[in-house]
Amino acid sequence: MQLLELSAVDLVTAIRRGEVSAVQAAEAFLDRITKLDGSINAFLHVDRTAALARAADVDKRRREGKPLGPLAGLPVAVKDALCTSDQPTTCASKMLAGYRPPYDAHVVARLRQADAVLVGKTNMDEFAMGGSNENSAFGAVHNPWDLARAPGGSSGGSAACVAADMAPVAIGSDTGGSIRQPAGLCGITGLKPTYGRISRRGLVAFASSLDQIGPMARSAADCALVMETIAGHDPGDATSLADDVPRYTDLLEKPLTGLRIGRVPEHFGPGLDPEVAHGVEEAFAAFKAAGATIHDVELPHAKYGIATYYLVAPCEASSNLARYDGAHYGHRAESGSGHRSAAKAGGEFESPLVEMYCRSRAEGFGPEVKRRIMLGTYALSAGYYEAFYAKALRVRRLIRQDYLDAFAKVDLIGGPVSPTPAFPLGEKTSDPLAMYLVDMYTVGTNLAGIGGISFPCGFTKGGLPIGFQLQGPALSEPLLLRAADRYQQLTDWHSKRPPLPA
């Protein structure tokens, strides 16, 4: 059990020194997955044989004195939205069931170059659309703190596997909160980097102007370690930033004296659970005790965040998901394969080809994905484009400007991640709007293209983690990680473990 509880930083050091072998580490986490994942369902695919072979190779090269990468032997779980050439990539959709990409996502390639050991692909909401992981075509993920509750989404499998010690770190993606929310609801740390900080090449596209990959781990220090490997320019993603990648782990130590943290009074209004509000206020007090100053700031357009996000994201999704037509790749319907004439189909379809497209999409996509495609297609259609999509883009600009104005006065903005602690599975599945409202504190970061980090700041009386969010200006990852790390040096919320079998 002790090995499972080592931080990623300590585990990598122990492996480099030969105190623990990479095979021992891989076996420990793989055994834990075998033992627990039947009740958590965090993984869609686990490749034990490949992981052990990879770990054995790290050990062999270490014995031979050959150079090793910075993550040598570190087990890593990867959200199933990232392409892996040697493991299936389904995005938790029937549309991509059994799909094997011909290449690795840029982030996956970097992890391999750093000698990390990929243990498996994690469950998620289908095509990353959702806030509870209940939209997976392969079953919901169960929150390790209470198996009857949702882990949050869409990177719920990544959050749950770290919380349950089935992997020391995981990779997630965040379009409107999908790293920060599940991290908050599962009591771990998750970083949504600035748009473009990490290459999106090989991340199955949801909303391309919002999507960003990031690390999920038990601490900010572990996130910093992973960031050094996965961040940086990639000529294969035109939106990836050319800025140098700092040594995040070397920048953690500096004290927080003089740090100005903003507090948005509207974030403490109706809809916020009182226990969450209390935990968040305690975190502000801890930051203050550590030398930071707290200032009220305004984000006047934040109240339009949900409406704006739920236009921009579905519009982009409807375009991105047009590629799943049954012809090129992905699920293809058995019927409508060209043998049935349009007349026989009762005039329902223009042609057998159109029938094949329609049936493939009807069968392959789940209800939430269909809802987004329909919303997006509607909002982009002639006559509605100006009223919905173009208007949403203008409001997006105002939301971004709010952040720029706020960051002229403060260094970071703090507040809740989610309005409530983890909610019971099934509670919101019949009410899409209630599910969308869960994103009220997180979508602004993505709309503005800036950075955000979420980490545990307490527990409810019922024993559920409460998350704290810090948002920072573009490329403020060193400061976000440092502030979270300093907080974690002063508190021990992040080292609490869920009540699971040892």
Catalytically active residues are 79, 154, 178
Beta bridge partner(s), residue 45: 121
Q: How far is the CB of 82 from ligand GLN (least distance, A)?
A: 13
Q: Candidates 177, 326, 416, 498: give the one binding ligand GLN (CB under 6 A).
A: 177
- Cα(221)–Cα(460) distance, rounded to whole angstroms? 25
Taking CB under 6 A as the rule, does residue 129 contact ligand GLN?
yes
Site string for ligand GLN, 431-460 (x = CB under 6 A): --------x---------------------
- Cα(121)–Cα(135) distance, rounded to whole angstroms? 16
Q: Candidates 119, 128, 166, 186: give the one binding ligand GLN (CB under 6 A).
A: 128
* Sheet of strand 117-122, all strands in order from the earlier edge strand to the far edge: 43-46, 117-122, 75-79, 169-174, 212-217, 189-192, 451-459, 465-472, 412-416, 260-263, 293-296
Handedness of CA 247, 248, 252, 256 (dihedral sign): positive
Residues 370-429 close enough to bind ligand GLN by CB under 6 A: none
Cα angle value 317/321/324 (rounded, 5°): 170
Taking CB under 6 A as the rule, does residue 154 contact ligand GLN?
yes
Q: How far is the CB of 278 from ligand GLN (least distance, A)?
A: 25
E-strand stretches of 289-383 = 293-296
Residues 258-317 close enough to bind ligand GLN by CB under 6 A: 313
Residue (22 or 191) nearer to ligand GLN, CB: 191
Q: How far is the CB of 429 from ligand GLN (least distance, A)?
A: 13
The dihedral region occupied by 414, where left means phi > 0, alpha psi between -120 and 50, and beta the remainder, is beta
Residue 272 phi/psi, 5-degree rounding, is: -85, 125
Query: Which distant-in-sequence residues (6+ apart) come within 8 Å of 492 by Cβ?
Result: none
Q: How far is the CB of 178 from ligand GLN (least distance, A)?
A: 3
Q: Candidates 75, 120, 130, 336: give the one binding ligand GLN (CB under 6 A).
A: 130
Query: Which distant-in-sequence residues (6+ apart) come within 8 Å of 97 by Cβ?
Result: 90, 137, 331
Number of residues that bind ligand GLN (CB under 6 A): 13
Query: Are 97 and 61 spatial neighbours (Cβ–Cβ below 8 Å)?
Result: no
E-strand stretches of 123-245 = 169-174, 189-192, 212-217
39, two tokens: 């009740």
Q: Which stretch binds ligand GLN (CB under 6 A): 162-170, 175-183, 409-417, 452-460?
A: 175-183
Residue 32 phi/psi, 5-degree rounding, is: -65, -40
- Cα(241)–Cα(93) distance, rounded to whole angstroms? 30
How does strand 189-192 pair with strand 451-459? antiparallel
Q: Candidates 131, 144, 190, 414: give the one binding ligand GLN (CB under 6 A).
A: 131
Q: How far is the CB of 415 from ligand GLN (least distance, A)?
A: 17
Q: Which stretch binds ligand GLN (CB under 6 A): 100-108, 128-136, 426-434, 465-473?
A: 128-136
Query: For residue 225, which of 467, 445, 476, 13 has the smallest C-alpha distance?
Result: 13
- Compute the half-sphere exposure of residue 347: CA atoms within 13 Å on the CB side of its CA: 0
Query: For residue 243, which of 485, 451, 34 has the smallest C-alpha distance?
Result: 451
Q: How far is the CB of 96 from ligand GLN (least distance, A)?
A: 16
Site string for ligand GLN, 72-111 (x = CB under 6 A): ----------------------------------------
Q: How far is the CB of 500 from ligand GLN (least distance, A)?
A: 26
Residue (176 or 449) nearer to ligand GLN, CB: 176
Q: How far is the CB of 369 from ligand GLN (least distance, A)?
A: 10
Query: Are 78 and 93 spatial neighbours (Cβ–Cβ below 8 Å)?
Result: no
Taking CB under 6 A as the rule, does residue 28 contact ligand GLN?
no
Site string for ligand GLN, 313-332 (x = CB under 6 A): x-------------------
Q: Which stretch binds ligand GLN (CB under 6 A): 124-132, 378-386, 421-429, 477-485?
A: 124-132
Binding site for ligand GLN (CB under 6 A): 128-131, 154, 174-178, 206, 313, 439
